[in-house]
């Protein structure tokens, strides 16, 4: 008996295959999925937005990471080797902002997971915050504001200063350091800089004079840190370095808390070794309530917010989302921190320029 075309069609029809939609975990994402780049990402992946007060504990991340193909993070949560091991499907860790100290890149590489960052997204924001801290210290803004709110008025011996004409020392002349130099230059400051991986010509492009760390510390009225936190730079500013600084100098840190030995800094501030400090970052974040740096009158503190203006957050999230989109579509990301993974995947075209920069050099400047 002859079968009908419909019957034959039914017999020849292939069974449907379930399509696995990639899953993306977004920690501390702003504006949820309202941004257009999140909407575009949602067309190829299932998005999960998570946020909480304080850090996720390692075990919490290990419990939830299993099904995810990608994760977007800030510096808030530690992506340890154990967390990475708990995520066998993880293809990309997209870090918003600066190079991460909170990701085990070696473990990610072993797992075949590419780690990316978003250079340039927060350069201006962090540089502006740096200048703001300098001005707050020079003008005694916080103490004067508190006096006024408590019913007092100005007094003649407040010790206010101009930033104009002072010497500013920049340690780490990467992207943010260069932006800070440009902004400081608007105050007709004399700019000194220390960075072992930057040429004299490149420094001079921003109006900075490249010199030794010792000279930066000894001659600057304001010393501002813009280096990455590595084994070589941990406690770059310790008791010895603080004693090199002028008695009336101020120390600014909008990079990483571990660049400064906080115990030595507290001692220097209490003894008057230096005049004061402006800190956006701490060795432990958030700092303990009893941390003396939160109570000293000659310290201005902010809660690691230098890179968090709306414009910077938008740029960071957009670029991180685009990196995730590229990887999930099978394309190489633009800003990998472990290009070895890309080589294994056959993405040689992208990695050639990245590999010209030594691993040590890639790790020193806060923003390269």
Query: Do residues 195 and 173 lie in contact, with contact meaning Cβ atoms separated by under 8 Å?
Result: yes
Separation CA 77–CA 65 (nearest Å): 13
Calpha distance 245→218 (Å, rounded): 5
Token representation of residue 107 = 């473990």
Query: Which residues is 193 bridged to in the sheet?
Result: 170, 210
> Cα–Cα distance between 57 and 8 in angstroms, integer?
58
d(C-alpha 307, C-alpha 165), whole Å: 27
Tokens 């019913």 identify what position?
151
d(CA 249, CA 103): 34
Please calculate the CA angle 312-180-220 and round it to the nearest 5 degrees.
150
Q: Which residues are catalytic?
A: 256, 285, 304
Q: How far apart are CA 327 and CA 205, in angstroms?
A: 36
The answer to whether the CB of 250 falls within 8 A of the CB of 215 is no
């Amino acid at each position: 008996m002859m079968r009908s075309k419909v019957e034959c069609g039914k017999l020849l029809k292939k069974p449907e295959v379930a399509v696995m939609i990639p899953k993306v975990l977004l920690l501390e994402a702003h504006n949820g999925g309202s941004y257009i780049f999140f909407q575009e990402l949602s067309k190829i992946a299932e998005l999960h937005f998570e946020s909480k007060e304080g850090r996720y504990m390692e075990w919490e991340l290990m419990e939830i990471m299993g099904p995810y193909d990608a994760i977007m993070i800030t510096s808030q949560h530690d992506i340890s080797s154990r967390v990475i091991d708990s995520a066998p499907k993880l293809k990309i860790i997209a870090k918003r902002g600066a190079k991460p100290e909170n990701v085990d890149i070696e473990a990610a590489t072993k797992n075949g997971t590419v780690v990316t960052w978003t250079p340039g997204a927060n350069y201006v924001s962090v540089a502006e915050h740096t200048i703001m801290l300098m001005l707050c210290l020079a003008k005694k803004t916080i103490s004067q504001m508190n006096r006024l709110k408590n019913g007092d008025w100005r007094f003649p011996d407040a010790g206010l200063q101009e930033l104009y004409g002072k010497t500013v020392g920049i340690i780490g002349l990467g992207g943010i350091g260069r932006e800070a130099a440009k902004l400081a230059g608007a105050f007709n400051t004399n700019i000194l800089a220390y960075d072992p991986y930057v040429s004299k010509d490149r420094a001079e492009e921003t109006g900075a004079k490249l010199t030794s760390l010792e000279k930066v510390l000894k001659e600057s009225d304001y010393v501002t840190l813009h280096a990455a936190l590595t084994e070589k730079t941990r406690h770059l500013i310790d008791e010895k370095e603080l004693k090199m600084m002028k008695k009336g100098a101020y120390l600014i840190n909008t990079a990483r808390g571990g660049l400064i030995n906080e115990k030595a800094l507290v001692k220097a501030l209490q003894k008057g070794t230096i005049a004061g400090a402006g800190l956006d970052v701490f060795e432990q974040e958030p700092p303990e309530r009893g941390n003396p740096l939160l109570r000293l009158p000659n310290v201005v503190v902010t809660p690691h917010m230098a890179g968090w203006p709306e414009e910077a957050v938008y740029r960071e999230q957009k670029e991180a989302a685009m990196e995730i989109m590229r990887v999930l579509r099978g394309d190489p990301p633009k800003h990998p921190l472990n290009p070895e993974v890309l080589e294994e995947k056959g993405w040689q075209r992208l990695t050639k320029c990245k590999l010209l920069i030594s691993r040590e050099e890639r790790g020193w400047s806060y923003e390269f």
